Structure 1
Amino acid sequence: MASLKQRYANGMNLKESDTTVNKLHLDNNQKATRSAETIFERILSPKTALSAWAIFVGFVAFFLLVAYGGHYTLPNPVVEEHNPVTGMPQISEANIRRIIGYLSEDIGLRVSGCRIKEIELIEEKAKIARARGAVDLPKIDTWVQVGDGSHQFDFMHEVVMKMYSNLTNIVVRLSCGPECDQNAVLLNAHYDTTLGSPGAVDDGLGVAVMMDILRVMSMSPAPKKNSVIFLFNGAEESFQDASHSFIVNHELKGSVRAVVNMEGSGSTGPEILYQANAQIMIDAYKKAPYPHGTVLANDLFATGIILSDTDFRIFRDHGNITGIDMAVYKNSYVYHTPLDVNENMESGLPQHMGENVLAIVNHVANQADLSKIPELVNDIVYFDFIGLFFVTYSIATATKIHIFLVVFAIVSLSIGASRPSIKSVLSIPVSFAAALAGPLTLATLFVTLGKPMQWFSHEWYPLMTFGPLSVACLLAVQYAVHDPKASSGANELSVFSGLQVFFTVVLGLTTYAGIASSFILAMFSFSLTAALVYNRTRVGTQKRVNGQVDQVEVNGVDFISYLVASTLPTTYFASVAYSLIDILVPLTGRLGPSTPVDHIVAGLVGLVSFLVCPPLLAFAHRFGRPVLLKLITALLVAQILLFLYTLVVLTPYDHMHPKRMFVQHLRNTTSGETAVFLAHADQGAIYDSYISRLEDMFGAKAVYKTSKEDKDDWNSVFPISEFIDSFVIDTTPYIRSQTTNKTIAESTAPLTDLIKNAPRLTTEDVSYDPTAGLRKMTLLCSFPDHIWTVITFDAQLKSWSLSSAPPSAERFHYVIRNAGGYGTDGWRLDLEYAAAGPEDKLRIEMISMETEGFDWRVEKERELEGTGEIAVMRKIVRAQPDFLALTYMSTVATVFNL
């Protein structure tokens, strides 16, 4: 018994010992927890101004880095054409780049149609696979379309009438048979290039991605619901002629229900979804593994701010087709220049575009209901969140969400969580205005000092050039409105609440206006309201009236509330800001010398400074006016130093971020003049040393002409001519000095008299109706050895043979451009116009480009017979500085009275 009792006692002692040990462990854990909580609270409740600002800025920087990583990360390139595990075909960047290399390096400049041999190889592989028993592969049909036509193309407020002849499209269809052929999704990319560019991205990338998708899908099970049409179109750079030819004339046009258009205007970063017009296609885009798109881009494109256009417009306007428009946009410094080469394309970009488009097309081909043409709409909200996922909903849903957010904000006001004042609310838009005014003033100073566009050579330089002053100005407003009679916490809460009211009111206004991109404001409104409600639980104190709790009083802002207010909107808007900067900064290099690009970019920096983290305005009050004054002073000192650095050290251009110049050797057979026109497309420095060097080489002084003065001389690139000013150098002295023919050297006859095969206009079937006062004629144009003829005239047209009616019943200035495919050297046009009599002739000016003289690899241009080697363009190209990107051409102009 004793031993049992002892054992029992020992057991009890053990249990007590265990309990003691457990209690010790618990105490230690609680101490550790309290210690961790203390550290955490110290981090998120800093007591000194320096530590608080360091932590606040650190968190904002963290959000920016998160957004940066999600925004710019590209997938790893895939080498194998087949998945090594499943054996199924897959998108291969190596294969895409091989095709791009063939297009941009082996072929190079591509201004006319040709058969793409790669398609024939794909067809052959599919036949071999079928012969081996692969019975579920898609049926492949091909067409080579050669077409003529016309259409009206309005661009930059100018009306351009387009004619085209002998243009080539290559069309491939994959289907499961007749049951799939009634409805189709169209993939489109163009294989032609603009003058002087190898077109690796624009649009060799789109073509190569389509080729690889065609390879993958041709070796995969056939589409289940809808066929897939691949349109390799041969003329986009001439203002979307080949896409028009397809959607108006091709036998498959009636089956197309949706389009996926692929374009390129940069060379790095992910491609963006920047136009969409139907829910069914936006839902398809949700299947993309790497989504990158926002309705904000759609809204910006609709404003005309982005001076660009794609085949998407043609399919929408002439085919009533829904779809999505995707383009590479980052680093558009290389766009339409000789720098658009394979080696400048970022690794992972072809893989990104290829996998995205394949996923979209597979979804549409196998699951989407295209039995009816989807309704074209512009009332859809869509956006990706830093590339992680894609969100889409209707404007109607957005309206309901935004109404809820307004109610949420009102509730926060009613419970005392939000405590704005009239002064704090008004200080927000004033701060925004100040954030804009500071950089705009600085931009004026740069321009006045003759140093425009000093920030141009890198996308982020404007943030350095204008950013500190912008932040200092918005904080200066808060310094001015800080109430010294109230506590810092009260000032802080009042401005925090003012931010909530401001963003909620603006959200309501933009929602009422039906602006789809108002979802960004919704993020700010929601986050600020949620932060204020959370803040109430953290720092609110119960106020008793007659012994009972009457309300909760809030007189400050908890540090964590700033995280609640900033995490979502700052992270998201940072990714938006990256896109805006990537698009707009390089774009300023081609907006024309009269566009105030310094002020545009300065305004962009002001917008970013204000929106990237609005709670900064409230946080500025946390430690009172003295600390805020020190911060403003530090920012102003930094701005002065950066201003001097930008002014003295930075240069606007370098080899990879060049200044664009258009060079034209124009020979006017009517006036006899031969001259070089050197046009620049931005406000940056002209570099007089280069012009002076050319003056010395050609033995003539340059004359400066604005776009208004020399508009007609640049009709070859109309309407781009609206955005360029020129230096004009007479080349006649140089040509005469170079000739070995003494008769020509000593003659005063125009050198243009020696031009052979100059473009000509003639007429036939000319008649006059005196009763109606109308003169009719048929214009016949011949242009051997030339391309892209443009005619201009003023007339009151009654009718013509173009497919669309004359754009005006009154006298009008007409510009008609013709694009011809390979081997085309003529066109005809019937006209009927108001005339005073049978001899009231039509004055027509015609200009056209020579087929030689614009390829970046060709060192010759058309010679004047007997003059020896004049090599005007060769001289210009060899003399160009490294920071210039030249687009050059040789043209012939003539005035006809017919």
Structure 2
Amino acid sequence: SYFNDLLPSPNQNEQNGFVAERAVNDLKGLVNIGPKVTGSDENEVLAIEYIMKVISDIKKTAASIHKLEVDLQQVSGSFSIGALGLHYNNLQNIIVKLGPRNNSSLLINCHFDTVPTSPGASDDGLNCAVMLEVLRVISSSKKPLTYGIIFLFNGAEENPLLASHGFITQHKWAKEIKAFINLESCGAGGREVLFQSGPNCSWVVDAYTEAVKHPSGNVIGEELFQSGIIPSDTDFRIFRDYGHIPGLDFAHCRDGYVYHTTKDDLNSIIDLPGVIQHTGDNLLSMVLTFTGNNSKLPTLHFVPHQNSIYFDILGFYFFSYSLNTAVLINSAAIVLSLISVLMLWYPSRKLWVFVDLAIRALALLIALALSMIYNLLLAIILDTVTASMTWFTNSFVLVPLYVLPTVVFMALSITLTDLFLLEKKIQFSSENALMQLLPTQTFWALILLVLTIMQIRSAFVLLPFVLLPAVVFILLSLFYEQHNKWVARVIYILSTFFCSIYITYCGIQGLRLFLPITGRAGPTINPDLPIAGLVTLITFCAYSYICSFPAYVRKIERWAKYLMILHAGLTLVLIFSNVGFPFSPNTPQRILITDLTRNSTTPDESLLFVDIWERRGVSVLPKVATLPTVKAFCTNKVPHCGLPWASPKIFMKSAEVSRWLPSTPHDLTHMTRLEVLSNNVTSDNVRTISLKMFGPDHMTLIIHTKYPMLSWSIDDLTPTPVQTTSTGSSYAIRHVHGLETLSWEVTLKFEIKDGDSNEGELKNIHIDFIGHHMHGPMSASLESFIATLPSWVHVTPSLATLRAYKF
């Protein structure tokens, strides 16, 4: 944790380099505007005016050697991400171009819009403030730039990723961009971490390695993020997929509990000047390297491309190399490990050496399996008795809950292996320690071999577990052990400690990321299962080389029994006391409450829809728990219960736990209406429906039909259902506009069956049209209900109107 929080002191010299104080002042101006939801005056007027004024002041102090151009883009378009269709109108981007006129530029991106209720200090105001200061520093410099820099302040990222799409596909400067740097956040401050790179362009990572003063990044994060395990996405995806350019993706990840909440303010960022100085120093160095004389920016498409392995060492050093290089290094480590085993065997040339190694390595594997099984069973039991997430606020709870059993199982496996399988007396000696460390090294060498064959880049984390002990063992055996065997073996033992330190460092980073994510992972997932598995793996890796030493403690079985009694006692305390209560005002429970008026039933009705985002749900909210579930009033006549789900997929997961209660109609229902422009069937059994929609700045169409959808006007791709059930398939289209937009249109084409031509059969296409009011005053019903909730609940409120149609 100490290494994860190291930050530089703010620069006090305003004439030299990045100055955090100026960026802090810019950030305060953005945060003071409040939540900036796309379509609101705060986002479309106040934030635009503020950023444009700061840029105007910067332009006044710019050196005459630089050409500084500013453009305010208003853009409309459509595309799809996965199965979700996206349509947008009149979104706004502020773009600044600095540098010479040529066809090669670097893009730097942040977004100034926020989710409802959030001031967006870290997500993403901090990065916009850093970009403004970098613009200020470079533009006032007397040194000319070799290549251009484009600063994109985009006004619609949270909806999702819309404004960046409008820029990269339509702006006049987009075609000259050769690489990009994307700045994001999933927490509140801390060091910005490199967690995505490429695609297939090692030079961008090499340039980062060369440039930065305070490195922080890990390819493990990239592989996890791209696997879909982390429920989020960034503009990196848009620049990669639609701009076809390589880049780097950074995020501040500390204290993810405040992400997308009212707590994402200046007070939540610990050491705000240090965070900004850290990010600013790195960004300024990267920009100057990317656009300097030795840059490969203009010829990136000619550079041999390959994904990189990259990682930092405790935040002090950063390493990057290609996948081919990784294969060579990993193979060399595996060969060296084999040589060290042969050197142990050679003096006696006895088969028992290999048998001994195999048995001890197998004992490690059994210890891992038993630890994993036990901890996963415990996670299931805790969830069954409604005691999951006891570690959500107090992460130290993970130590007695999941770390302690893993340590006990590992120590006992070594002891029992020695006593009963190998029939050896348990006493400490350098030879006994050596006979346990080499099997551990062999075990990790085999795992490294498998991961290398699978081309998993995260395998680098096991490299020190194999390479360092093997090299030390070989060197000591050749040059020192004949003089002093005991000292040589102690040095070998100490060489394994770095492995424990490094994996613990990586593990803490991972837990800092994943623990807060469980608070928004949905109600159907038992979060204790992945967390128990992750903690077990981290503990096993960190403890694998030193797990043999407790075996030399006298009466180890008695100590193991005492530790398991302690573990059981503390687990009972967590279940039956408030020590394990998961939430607090700073680590809140998240729920979404929508005041909905709908006409999908007869007569029209209004209700408060309470959508649960995590596992504990209503079990900690007695008043909400007494309300009827959404599933209780669902009928097959109305798809998705006629509710404004963010996606039909979410409906499948949340209907049994989400709640509702009657409300009174709000006064915004008149804003949402739909007109049918055309509805016809051609001779080739293709049904075409053209619709025109009027409503607020956030709208959703959910189409449920038994017919395949052939195409839509969103893009040229064949639409993919977001959900398919026995009654048909569901498709979703989300619309967002920034500046006022009167209406938007969409055309849908379906393949119908022969004979489905009479009026009765044609009523097989059900469309829910939803208008979402994501900003502005709340209704009286919504406000009074929220007032009854505890202080540790964060509510994302909205008003909605749902109109249902059949075609």
Contact 2:306–2:322 (8 Å) recurs in 1: no
Report the more deviating stretch, 483-492 or 669-678: 483-492
Within-5 A mapping of 1:363-442: 363-366=289-292, 367-374=294-301, 379-416=307-344, 419-420=353-354, 421=356, 422-442=358-378
* 1:564 corresponds to which of 495, 500, 513: 495
Equivalent in the alignment of 1:135: 64
Tell me: CA distance 1:118–1:104, structure 2 relative to 1, closer, same or farther (3 Å): closer
1:111 maps to 2:38:
yes
Do residues 149 (structure 1) and 77 (structure 2) align? yes
2:64 aligned counterpart, secondary structure: coil
- Going from structure 1 to structure 2, the CA distance change for 1:631 and 1:561 (only over 3 Å counts) comes to farther
CA distance in 1, matches of 2:770, 2:434: 67
Q: Give the direction of change, closer, same or farther, for the CA distance of 1:223–1:722 in structure 2 (3 Å limit).
A: farther
CA separation of 1:452/1:101 partners in 2, compared to 1, >3 Å: closer, same or farther?
A: same
496-505 vs 367-376, which moves further: 367-376
8 Å Cα contact 1:478/1:620 also seen in 2: no
| Corresponding position of 1:603 | 533
1:601-644 Cα deviation digits (max 9, x unpaired):
11111111111132123323445xx4432332232133123223
For the residue of structure 1 that corresponds to 2:160, the secondary structure is: coil
CA 1:73–1:249 in structure 2 vs 1: closer, same or farther (change >3 Å)? Answer: same
Structure 1 counterpart of 2:7, which letter?
L
Larger CA deviation: 274-283 vs 474-483: 474-483
Give the TM-score, by structure 2 length: 0.88
Sort the Cα spacing of 1:713 and 1:240 in 2 relative to 1 into closer, same or farther, 3 A. Answer: farther
Gaps in structure 1 of 5+ consecutive residues: 1-67, 543-551, 696-700, 736-750, 862-870
Alpha-carbon distance in 1 for matches of 2:640, 2:546: 49
Render the CA deviation track for 1:457-486: whole Å, top value 9, x for unaligned. 134432342211121122222222113633
CA distance in 2, matches of 1:844, 1:230: 44
Distance 2:643 2:395 in 1: 30
What secondary structure, in the 3-state scheme, does the structure 2 residue paired with 1:415 have? helix
Is it true that 1:262 corresponds to 2:183 in the alignment? yes
- Please, which of 768, 784, 787 is the counterpart of residue 875 of structure 1? 784
Match of 1:860 in 2: 778
Q: Secondary structure at the match of 1:412?
A: helix
| Residues 644, 802 of structure 2: 8 Å contact kept | no
* In 1, Cα distance between equivalents of 2:32 and 2:137: 24
Deviation at 1:535, TM superposition (A): 6.2
Which SS does the other structure have where 1:483 is aligned?
A: helix
2:511 alignment counterpart? 581
Equivalent-residue separation in structure 2 for 1:462 and 1:728 (angstroms):
31
Q: Distance in 1 between matches of 2:548 and 2:471?
A: 16
**Distance of aligned partners of 1:106 and 1:527 in 2 relative to their CA distance in 1, 3 Å threshold:** same
Q: Aligned residue for 1:831?
A: 748
Q: Residue 319 of structure 2 aligns to a residue in which SS?
A: strand
Distance 2:247 2:799 in 1: 39
Contact 1:492 1:622 survives alignment (8 Å): no
* CA distance in 1: counterparts of 2:633 and 2:497, whole angstroms: 47
1:364-763 equivalence runs, <5 A: 364-366=290-292, 367-374=294-301, 379-416=307-344, 419-420=353-354, 421=356, 422-483=358-419, 485-487=423-425, 488=427, 489=429, 491-533=432-474, 536=477, 558-567=489-498, 569-622=499-552, 626-647=554-575, 648=577, 649-671=579-601, 672-684=604-616, 686-687=618-619, 689-691=621-623, 701-703=627-629, 705=631, 711=640, 713-718=642-647, 724-725=654-655, 726-732=657-663, 735=664, 756-763=669-676
CA separation in 1, counterparts of 2:709 and 2:60? 58
Per-residue deviation at 1:790?
3.1
What per-residue deviation string (whole Å, max 9, x for no partner) do you get for residues 736-789 of structure 1? xxxxxxxxxxxxxxx58x8651411112244332x2122333211111x45233
User: Which amino acid is the alignment partner of residue 188 of structure 1?
Assistant: N
Bigger mean CA offset, 210-219 vs 377-386: 377-386
Change (3 A) 1:446 1:400: same
Whole-Å Cα distance in 1 between the matches of residues 345 and 4 of structure 2?
A: 35
Matched, 1:94 2:21: yes
SS in 2 for 1:416: helix
* Aligned 1:731-810 pairs, distance under 5 A: 731-732=662-663, 735=664, 756-769=669-682, 771-783=683-695, 785=696, 787-794=698-705, 795-807=707-719
Alpha-carbon deviation of 1:886?
Answer: 0.7
Does 2:113 correspond to 1:192? Answer: yes
State the shift of 1:91 in Å: 2.4
Query: How many Å apart are 1:433 and its aligned residue?
Result: 1.6
Alignment of 1:44-443 (within 5 A): 68-78=1-11, 80=12, 83=13, 87-88=15-16, 90-112=17-39, 113-114=44-45, 116-125=48-57, 128-129=60-61, 134-136=63-65, 138-154=66-82, 159-176=83-100, 178=101, 181-221=102-142, 223-277=144-198, 278-286=201-209, 287-347=211-271, 348-366=274-292, 367-374=294-301, 379-416=307-344, 419-420=353-354, 421=356, 422-443=358-379
Aligned to 1:33: none
Residue 344 of structure 2 aligns to a residue whose secondary structure is: coil
SS at the partner of 1:793?
strand
Query: For the Cα contact (< 8 Å) 2:522–2:612, is it kept in 1?
Result: yes
Q: How far does residue 891 in structure 1 lie from its aligned partner after superposition? A: 0.8
CA distance in 1, matches of 2:524, 2:488: 48
Alpha-carbon spacing, 1:101–1:129, altered in 2? closer, same or farther (3 Å) = closer
Residues 556 and 527 (structure 1), Cα distance of their counterparts in 2 relative to 1, 3 Å cut? same
Q: Is the 8 A contact 2:704 2:767 kept in 1?
A: yes
Q: Residue 860 of structure 1 aligns to which amino acid in structure 2?
A: M
**Larger deviation: 260-269 or 377-386?**
377-386
Q: Are the structure 2 counterparts of residues 358 and 715 from structure 1 closer, same or farther at C-alpha, using a change threshold of 3 Å?
A: farther
Is the Cα–Cα contact under 8 Å of residues 850 and 891 in structure 1 kept in the other structure?
yes
Contact 1:493 1:555 in 2 (8 A): no
Q: Percent identity, aligned pairs only?
A: 25
For residue 193 of structure 1, give the secondary structure of its aligned residue in structure 2: coil
What is the root-mean-square deviation in Å for CA atoms of aligned residues?
A: 2.9
Q: Is the 8 A contact 1:759 1:786 kept in 2?
A: no
d(CA) in 2 for partners of 1:808 and 1:525?
46
What SS class does the counterpart of residue 670 from structure 2 fall into? Answer: coil
Tell me if structure 1 keeps the 8 A contact 2:402–2:532.
Answer: yes
Q: Which residue of 1 aligns with 2:350?
A: none
SS of residue matched to 1:717: coil
Offset of residue 170 of structure 1? 1.1
Higher gyration radius (CA): 1
> 1:591·1:723 contact (CA, 8 Å) conserved in 2?
no
TM-score of the superposition, structure 1-length normalised?
Answer: 0.80
SS in 2 for 1:845: strand
Q: Aligned-pair distance for 1:843? A: 3.3
- Which whole-Å deviations, capped at 9, do the CAs of 1:681-725 have from their partners, x for residues lacking one? 111252465525x97xxxxx4335499999565545226556545
Deviation at 1:893, TM superposition (A): 0.6
Alpha-carbon separation, structure 2, partners of 1:116 and 1:92: 23
Assess if the C-alpha contact under 8 Å between 2:600 and 2:642 holds in 1. Answer: no
Supply the distance in 2 between the matched residues of 1:203 and 1:723 (Cα, whole angstroms).
30
Distance 1:584 1:706, change over 3 A: farther
